[in-house]
Each structure stands twice: as C-alpha cells, then as structure tokens.
Homo-oligomer: A and B are copies of this chain.
Amino acid sequence: MTGTAAGAGQRADMVRNRRLLLGAATAAFAERGVEVSMGEIAQRAGLAKGTVFRHFASKEDLLAAIMLQLLDRLTSTADRLLHADDAAAALREFMTTGVEALAADRAFCEVVGRPSLQHPEVRAAINHLCDVAEALTARARERGAVRDDVTGTDVVLLLGGIHQTAAPLLAAQPQAWRRYLELALDGLHVPNAGALPEQPPCRLPRHVPEST
C-alpha cells in the first residue's frame, strides 16, 4: 500500500530511515510541489538516492503515500466534526481546515487540483473525503444552513478553488484565503436561491489521458 510493504520484522535502521524519508518528503513536497526531485528529498533525509528507491519503487508511489496521509488527516477531521452540535459551524470548520491544509502544501494543491496526476489510491481517498463531506453538508442542509443543491463534492472542490483564488496573494497576505472562504460560505447559504446550473457533482471522474 505505502511503497514497499512496511510490515514488522524490519531492521531498526530501516524503520528509522523510513521515518526520516517520510518527514523529508512531506516537507519537500509541501514547499516545492510535486516537481521536487528525488535527489533533493534524499539529501534532506540525509540518505542516498538509492535508499529512497528501496523504500518506494517510484516517485509516484512516494508522492501518493504523502498525499494519502494528508487526505486521511482531513477525512478524520471531517469525521470528527460529524458529531458536532452546530452543523453550520462544523461545515465552516471543515472548510477552514481544508483550505489551510492546501495553503500550507504546494504538492497537495497540485495533486488535488489536477486529475492527471492522481494515483488510483489517491483518487479513492478523495472520493472517500467527498462522501464524508457529503454527510457533513447534508446535516447543514437539513438545518437550512446551506442551499439545497450543494453536494459534499461541491464543498471539497471549493476548497481548491478558494485556495487558488488567494494563491497569488499568498506571499503578501498569507491569510487572504479567509476572505474568499467567507465569500464562498455566503454564496453557499443565500436564503432564497435559485437552483445552481449544471449537474451537482457526486464523485470525481477518472482522468482520461489527453489525445493529441
């Protein structure tokens, strides 16, 4: 699942190196995006390049492992919020956490926003996140806090959009995303709203490679 099987019965130095590697990769992808080289990741971890490829067969696998970690964290946040008292506040907190996570990690944005570089497991994790977000959204919907035809997938997609809106300002105003989150939330619960155009999305489609 996560690169080369990480089962028990491994040498102590190997599990230590694995921790170093995952830490370095997480930081490197966050700062530099998916384009960061395996060489740089190895260097940050204080390991040789070959060692990195011993733990993960390819760059794609390593990236997927890191992304799954981030997605799982977000999903469990959503899970927890499912039991909150105030459904509207819970949805707001979920979106805040989500946009914050995107703002702090370049690779996360790139992977979530571009279907073409999604590992199957990553897509599955995103779809799972959409499911939990749907539950969260449904509760807010029942309480009249969001308009009728907004789905959990809408909410998840909005995370990427909100962050992207603020991205060009990130260096100058690191919190600018709050502005656009508020704007989106206002749009999400306008009282007497007409139905939104286009089909409400349920899951993310599989990516079909371009022609040409």
Contact = CB atoms under 8 A, between A and B. Distances in A.
Given A179-B197, A184-B187, A164 B160 contact: yes
Contact of A210 (B31, B169, B180, B182): B31
B184 A184 contact: yes
A113 B169 CA distance: 10
If over half of A's interface residues share one DSSP class (helix, strand or loop), that class is named, otherwise mixed; here it is helix
Contacts of A158: 165, 180, 183
A88 interface: no
A134 B129 CA distance: 37
Interface string A180-212: 101111111010010011111100110110101
Interface residues of A, number: 49
Contact of A160 (B114, B165, B176, B178): B165
B186 A190 contact: yes
Interface string A67-89: 00000000000000000000000
Contacts of A2: none
B198 A193 contact: no
Interface of A: 31-32, 112-115, 154, 157-158, 160-173, 175-176, 178-180, 182-188, 190, 193, 196-201, 204-205, 207-208, 210, 212
Given A113-B164, A114-B168, A115-B170, 17 more contacts: A114-B167, A161-B162, A161-B164, A168-B204, A168-B205, A169-B205, A172-B205, A173-B201, A176-B198, A178-B197, A182-B196, A183-B184, A183-B188, A185-B187, A186-B187, A187-B190, A190-B190
